[in-house]
Amino acid sequence: MIAYVTGGLPDMATTERIIETVVGAGADAVELGVPFSDPIMDGPVIQAGSQVALEAGTTPAAVLACAGAAAAAAPIGFMTYANLVAHAGWDRFAAEAAASGVSAAIVPDLPLEEAGDWFAACERHGIEVVTFCAPTSPDDRIAANAAAASAFLYAVGVLGVTGERATVAQTALDLARRAKALTDRPVLVGVGVGTAAQAAEVAAVADGVVVGSAIVRRVLEADTPDDAVASVGRFVAEVRDALDAVAVAQPPPDPHCDLCEAARLSEWHHEDALCWIADCEICAVPMVVWRHHGLPGPADAAAMVERLRRVADARLGPEGEAWYIDGNRRNIPDHWHVHARRRFWS
Amino acid sequence: MTAAPRDLLGDGRYGEFGGKFVPETLVPALEELEVAFVEAWADPGFRSELDALLRDYVGRPSPLTEARRLTQRLGGARVLLKREDLNHTGSHKINNTLGQALLARRMGKSRVIAETGAGQHGVATATAAALFGLECTVFMGEVDVERQALNVVRMQLLGAEVVPVSSGSRTLKDATNEALRDWVASVGGTHYTIGSVVGPHPFPAIVRELQRVIGTETREQCRALTGRDPDAVVACLGGGSNAMGIFAEFVGSEDVGLVGVEAAGGGLESGRHGAAIARGVPGILHGTRTMLLQDEHGQVIEAHSISAGMDYPGVGPEHAALAAAGRATYVSRSDDDAVAGFQLLTETEGIIPALESAHAVAEAARLAPELPADATIVVCLSGRGDKDVDQVARRLGLLGDQP
């Protein structure tokens, strides 16, 4: 998990404490935002954070300096917009970032077509680069971006700018799966990942997540710097626990199990970190299948049956009249799945 | 003959300026737009539909008016006015928005979005959207919403949603940020009708081609009237679409002097101006590399001008390149100059210009006496000034309730 922190929000000293705290709470790395006056990839929360930081007099040099102190505990990457880098000079900015201990760079408004000089400068100074893919990216662009990524490929999970969303978008899961199939580079999903549950859901299909607005919002909402540090620390620990639970809870796939193979023989109606729903190859009715081999706990089972209900209601008609829940596992008893079976008269 | 694709729009590089500095999400959309425009431009059906709209709906060709009393008053070169103020909706902006709305429809997009400063581009976009039955959202800085209230009402009457933008300097720059953010989220079904020769490739080239009609007509009309090309063409610029439209036709004719007029606001030394070429340094904003007003760290500085349409800290990348190459000259005129130009044209010709265009009038007034009587200056009168009457009245203390 990468935690995004706006440099200079609410001040540099607190930023340093927040970085320490998120690393202590289990963030694997920190994405340190260097605030820019016109952040077109950011939604209202990170915009507000940047504006507060700029009004407090935050400079790029001060933000980079603060990275140095924290870089011993966890890798620090910086995120900013092309103008701040270009204004300093591609090479000079890369050199200064490297000297301050930063190990990676994220510049979202530098697509491959414009990034040549920057990537070369990063390579000269030992800075790894992050590149992007989005739900609109065709496969060849995903592959080209992945090939250019020395750090990781950042999958922008939703069509839109940074910000929290109520649920994980299907686009995030689809994009992560598509990207994973195209590259061996790590694929991290960001934009629209704002809760521990969402992080866990996304982490099941990607190599990691980037959490940003949910952190910056907590800093903005806090009454004091101490509250900000404590609130962010609690949140990041929660996300860490959820991610660890995903890692622990997954039984290994059984190489002989057809359901573990999850071959897409028919149209998939739904998928998320927990389960997928498709028409059963044998019965031709919607079937929900747990992502993992074996049998889930009752809460997960109930959640999966609920997802099947939504799909079956939409496709078959009202439950009871048109179809019913059939939990009987006739052919593959040791991998949990449930059919939405048609009433024979319907 | 239809130009080959690369000849029509180029590769998006104007010397060291231009480019496509956007989030990955938008890259495929920009490529799609480039292909769509080139195909549309090569399609006689598209061109004849646009030409018919420009003739029957906009009222083109717009006249080239001989400014006899102005010329007499100034004493020097003969001044001609390219009357974009007479277009439907009152400015040159409609040339661009009709073309882009036709393109949006052709691309199957049901919604258009736009940024606006003075409101002229917002009104022109809302007008085109009404004409084609497209959904329309216009982003406008809160400061501009206040100083151009009448244009907000016009847009709303035309069926557009006007979204006041409260971030940053709350003017055109921030409205453009917000339009880009909307587009990142809505790119599948929405076309971003950018209002000037700014933004990522291919926008600067598309807007230039759609505004080129100003220059093409001017050349024909000037030759018919005077027997030759003008000696100088003077146009105001915020982003620079009217200037690029009229310059485009003359760039290859070295005998025609091209003069762009930026906003000097309260004076270049005051720091409160919009003179990106005069006082900016190369930078990246709104997807393009261009001359840009910024502080020592690269943070973009707010622009200032009496005219909301020139309140922009950057400028079209092709203008930045023309300035660097020395092909066009860029000067700046202050708020006071603009108000004087506004009064001068109104008194001598009975034409009330937009405050934006009044910057060009002011520069022509400075230039004309320096040139011989057989020289000709064309001023691009990019818009009419009804929207600015209230503001000028306040500034001149012409309203009864002024202290």
Which chain A residue is nearest to residue B22, measuring alpha carbons? A109
Question: For residue A54, which residues of chain B lie inside 8 Å, CB to CB?
Answer: 299
Q: What is the pLDDT of residues B358-375, one digit of tens each?
A: 999 999 999 999 999 999
Question: For residue B139, what are the CA distances in angstroms to A90, A323, B116?
Answer: 33, 49, 6
Same structural domain for residues A137 and A43?
A: yes
Has residue A74 been placed in a domain?
yes
Given a contact cutoff of 8 angstroms between Cβ atoms, the answer to whether A84 and A36 are in contact is yes
Question: Looking at residue B5, what is its pLDDT?
Answer: 46
Has residue A21 been placed in a domain?
yes
CATH number, domain containing residue A57: 3.20.20.70
Determine the average pLDDT of the residues in A267-282: 86
Last residue of a domain, one of A198, A215, A246: A246
Tokens encoding A71: 């870089």
Which residue from A84, A88, A109 is facing B21, i.e. has the nearest CB? A109
Tell me which of B173, B318, B382, B387 is the catalytic residue.
Answer: B382
Phi, psi of A262 (to 5 degrees): 50, 40
Banded model confidence at residue A267, pLDDT cuts 50, 70, 90: confident
- Interchain CB distance below 8 Å, B24 and A160: no
Tell me which of A42, A201, A271, A279 is the catalytic residue.
Answer: A42
Tell me which of B20, B82, B93, B109 is the catalytic residue.
Answer: B93
Name the one residue in this structure whose structure tokens are 């000259």: B329
Which residue from B22, B187, B298 is facing A83, i.e. has the nearest CB? B298
Q: ipTM value of the model?
A: 0.94
A31 flagged as catalytic: yes
Same structural domain for residues A215 and A262?
A: no
- Listed range (A50-64, A307-321, B120-134) with the worst mean pLDDT: A307-321
Question: Looking at residue B4, what is its pLDDT?
Answer: 46
Banded model confidence at residue A264, pLDDT cuts 50, 70, 90: confident
Query: What residues contact B131, with CB distance under 8 A and at least 6 apart?
Result: B57, B98, B101
Which residue from B167, B168, B297 is facing A84, i.e. has the nearest CB? B297
Question: Looking at residue A346, what is its pLDDT?
Answer: 38
Phi, psi of B67 (to 5 degrees): -95, 80
Query: What residues contact B383, with CB distance under 8 A and at least 6 apart?
Result: B84, B85, B90, B91, B92, B93, B118, B120, B309, B353, B354, B356, B357
Question: For residue B22, which residues of chain A lie inside 8 Å, CB to CB?
Answer: 40, 109, 111
- Interchain CB distance below 8 Å, A38 and B286: yes
B331 vs B263: CA distance, rounded Å: 9
Residue A272 has pLDDT above 70, yes or no: yes
B15 vs B322: CA distance, rounded Å: 9
What residues in chain B have their Cβ under 8 A from chain A's Cβ atoms? 19-29, 167-168, 173-174, 177, 180-181, 184-188, 281-287, 289, 292, 294, 297-300
Could you tell me how many CB contacts below 8 A there are between chain A and chain B?
118
> B253: helix, coil or strand?
coil
Determine the average pLDDT of the residues in B301-329: 95
Which chain B residue is nearest to residue A49, measuring alpha carbons? B167
Tokens encoding B244: 């690029």
Same structural domain for residues A99 and A216?
A: yes
Same structural domain for residues A216 and A265?
A: no
Residue B3 has pLDDT above 70, yes or no: no
Has residue A126 been placed in a domain?
yes
B297 vs A84: CA distance, rounded Å: 7
Q: What is the pLDDT of residues B254-287, one digit of tens each?
A: 999 999 999 999 999 999 999 999 999 999 999 9
Question: For residue A80, which residues of chain B lie inside 8 Å, CB to CB?
Answer: none
Shortest Cα distance, chain A CAs vs residue B23, angstroms: 5
Question: Looking at residue A249, what is its pLDDT?
Answer: 64
Query: What residues contact B48, with CB distance under 8 A and at least 6 apart?
Result: none
Question: Looking at residue A345, what is its pLDDT?
Answer: 63
- Interchain CB distance below 8 Å, B168 and A37: yes
DSSP letter for each residue of A322-345 = TEEEE---SS-TTB-EEEEEEPTT
Question: For residue B294, which residues of chain A lie inside 8 Å, CB to CB?
Answer: 83, 87
Q: What is the pLDDT of residues A199-231, one digit of tens each?
A: 999 998 899 999 999 999 999 999 999 999 999
Question: % helix / strand / coil in chain B, to the nearest 5?
Answer: 50, 20, 30
* Structural element, H or E, at residue B362: helix B355-367
- Listed range (A266-280, B186-200, B311-325) with the worst mean pLDDT: A266-280
Question: For residue A36, which residues of chain B lie inside 8 Å, CB to CB?
Answer: 298-299
Shortest Cα distance, chain B CAs vs residue A300, angstroms: 32
- Interchain CB distance below 8 Å, A84 and B299: yes
State the first-to-last Cα distance of chain A, in angstroms, to the nearest integer: 48
Q: What is the pLDDT of residues B90-107, one digit of tens each?
A: 999 999 999 999 999 999
Same structural domain for residues A34 and A165?
A: yes
DSSP letter for each residue of B268-332 = GGGT-S--HHHH-EEEEETTEEEEE-B-TTSPBPPP--SSGGG--S---HHHHHHHHHTSEEEEE
Tell me which of A11, A16, A28, A31 is the catalytic residue.
Answer: A31
- Interchain CB distance below 8 Å, B299 and A160: no
- Interchain CB distance below 8 Å, B300 and A159: no
The closest of A233, A163, A179 to A19, measured between CA atoms, is A233
Last residue of a domain, one of A198, A213, A246: A246
Last residue of a domain, one of A246, A280, A311: A246
- In this prediction the pTM is 0.87
Same structural domain for residues A146 and A177?
A: yes
Question: % helix / strand / coil in chain A, to the nearest 5?
Answer: 45, 20, 40
Which residue range(s) make up the domain with A186? 2-246
Question: Looking at residue A5, what is its pLDDT?
Answer: 97
**A189, β-bridge pairs:** A155, A209
Please report how many Cα atoms fall inside a 13 Å half-sphere around the Cα of residue B388, on the Cβ side: 29
- Listed range (A1-10, A322-331, B15-24) with the worst mean pLDDT: A322-331
Phi, psi of B162 (to 5 degrees): -105, 120
Burial of B4 (0-12, 13-18, 19+ CB in 10 A): exposed
Shortest Cα distance, chain A CAs vs residue B60, angstroms: 37
Helical segments of A56-182, H only = 60-70, 82-88, 90-99, 116-125, 139-148, 170-182
Which residue from A38, A59, A108 is facing B285, i.e. has the nearest CB? A38
Has residue A251 been placed in a domain?
no
Question: For residue B177, which residues of chain A lie inside 8 Å, CB to CB?
Answer: 38-40
A319 flagged as catalytic: no
Tokens encoding B288: 């393009």
Q: How many domains does chain A have?
A: 2
Q: Which amino acid is at B35?
A: V
Residue A251 has pLDDT above 80, yes or no: no
Which residue from A37, A60, A109 is facing B23, i.e. has the nearest CB? A109
Which residue from B20, B174, B188 is facing A114, i.e. has the nearest CB? B20
Same structural domain for residues A23 and A164?
A: yes
DSSP letter for B58, please.
I
B398 vs B342: CA distance, rounded Å: 14
Question: For residue B297, which residues of chain A lie inside 8 Å, CB to CB?
Answer: 59-60, 84, 87
- Interchain CB distance below 8 Å, B24 and A47: no
Query: What residues contact B389, with CB distance under 8 A and at least 6 apart?
Result: B352
Same structural domain for residues A297 and A215?
A: no
Mean pLDDT of all residues belonging to chain A: 92
Estimate the crossing angle of helix A225-249 against helix A213-221, to 10 degrees. 150
- Interchain CB distance below 8 Å, B24 and A43: no
Has residue A253 been placed in a domain?
no
Burial of B163 (0-12, 13-18, 19+ CB in 10 A): middle
Name the one residue in this structure whose structure tokens are 């496969």: A139
Task: Determine the longest span between alpha carbons in chain A, in angstroms.
Answer: 74
Banded model confidence at residue A256, pLDDT cuts 50, 70, 90: confident
SS3 string of A65-87?
A: HHHHHHCCCCCEEEECCHHHHHH
Mean pLDDT of all residues belonging to chain B: 95
Has residue A308 been placed in a domain?
yes
Given a contact cutoff of 8 angstroms between Cβ atoms, the answer to whether A75 and A110 are in contact is no
Residue B2 has pLDDT above 60, yes or no: no
Same structural domain for residues A74 and A187?
A: yes
Which chain B residue is nearest to residue A111, measuring alpha carbons? B24
Given a contact cutoff of 8 angstroms between Cβ atoms, the answer to whether B190 and B111 are in contact is yes
- Interchain CB distance below 8 Å, B27 and A41: no
Same structural domain for residues A173 and A312?
A: no
Same structural domain for residues A48 and A170?
A: yes
The closest of B235, B324, B278 to B18, measured between CA atoms, is B324
The closest of A212, A216, A155, A162 to A180, measured between CA atoms, is A155
Question: For residue B32, which residues of chain A lie inside 8 Å, CB to CB?
Answer: none
Banded model confidence at residue A250, pLDDT cuts 50, 70, 90: low
Shortest Cα distance, chain A CAs vs residue B170, angstroms: 12
Same structural domain for residues A123 and A241?
A: yes
Question: For residue B21, what are the CA distances in angstroms to A109, B258, B324?
Answer: 5, 28, 21
